[in-house]
Structure 1
Amino acid sequence: MNYDMIRSQLGQSVPFARLAGVEIDSIAGGRASAHLPFRPEGLNHIGTQHAAALFALGETASGAAMAGAFAPILLEIRPVAAEASIRYFGLAKGAVTAEARVEAEPDALIEAVRTEGLVRFPIVVSLRGEDGIEIGEMMVDWHVSKKRT
């Protein structure tokens, strides 16, 4: 499965991300980027991006990076975000971009699923404002297993 196909499918198959306004920009082998436009529906009581919208952005980017890492066997696995944490460093006063990366080597993760049936690993996500300044960081632990039949 190629990365453009994965990006298109993820954009359609996660209704909440669409509702939040998250758009996946790119997917590569264990990396992904997504953005959250600045729009009235996503704001909080002080007029900046809502914390929940930023969480949705980071989790979506992490899922796209996970999908990119497992592209060769994506149709054979069952991925689940098992744990997530987020730290906010500043206010999101405009559009926000998320850059996610799998820390481990994708080939090693694929091999673990093939031999052990499952693997758990972290994905680090950097959230940046329009000016490029990091406004938050997220860590998402993914649990990937072989699809159940």
Structure 2
Amino acid sequence: MGSATMGDLVMAGFQKLGFIQYAGIEGVEFDAGRNVVSIAPRPEHLNHNGDLHAAVLFGLAETAAMGAAVSGIVDLMGATFIVARDGRIEYLARAKGAAGPFLATSEFPAGTVERLRADIAGRVAVELEVPVEIADGSGKPIAAATFTAVIRPRRA
């Protein structure tokens, strides 16, 4: 099975998750070490100022981060337990609802996926710092976030 086919299967599974459907998050790009997701604001996503609500931005960022965390290890998911330990976000500009859709991009430095795969093969628990950038429809930076993904061997 080629990587494009694996990516398609992962994206299809991603779209079935309850939070993803509830929030209206769409997968844009999924490749080893990189995940991009988007959201087109709906009225229920907006705050009293007409901006994308901070909680929606946080959820979008977390979705991008955890997708990136698993992007290079999809074939090893049965042997691992993955969860977000923490997350922090800095809101850089107003996320005006009319400026959407918003893109959240999470990407690792070169070599991260290979090290992660080696640690999983060695049954070593990993805490992986995962960066995310969110931009509006014009490419203007809206937020920057970092999450910690905990990846450890699944218990027997």
TM-score in same-fold range (> 0.5): yes
The question of 1:106 aligning with 2:109 is answered no
Moved more, 110-119 or 56-65: 110-119
Q: Distance in 2 between matches of 1:75 and 1:26?
A: 23
1:65 counterpart residue number: 68
Matches within 5 A, 1:1-20: 2-13=6-17, 15-20=18-23
Q: d(CA) in 2 for partners of 1:122 and 1:22?
A: 22
Q: Alignment identity in percent?
A: 26
Paired residue for 1:124?
A: 131
SS at match of 2:16: helix
Query: What does 1:78-93 align with in structure 2 at a 5 Å threshold?
Result: 78-93=81-96
AA partner of residue 66 (structure 1): A
> What is the CA deviation profile of residues 34-67 of structure 1, one whole-angstrom value per residue up to 9, with x for unaligned ones?
0011210100011110000001101101111112
Q: Does the CA-based 8 Å contact 2:14-2:20 persist in structure 1?
A: no
Letter in 1 for 2:113: P
Matched letter for residue 121 of structure 1 = L
Runs of 4+ in 1 over 2 A off after TM superposition: none
Q: Which TM-score applies when normalising by structure 2?
A: 0.89
- Of 33, 39, 42, 2:45 maps to 42
Q: Alpha-carbon deviations, 1:46-94, whole Å to 9, x = none?
A: 1110000001101101111112121231222110001100000001113
Cα separation, 1, equivalents of 2:14 and 2:69: 11
CA distance in 1, matches of 2:48, 2:112: 41
**CA distance in 1 between partners of 2:15 and 2:82 (Å):** 16
User: How far apart are residue 110 of structure 1 and its match?
Assistant: 1.4
The alignment covers a number of residue pairs equal to 148
CA contact (8 A) 1:6 1:67 kept: no
1:140 maps to: 147
- Conserved in 1, the CA contact under 8 Å of 2:123 and 2:153? no
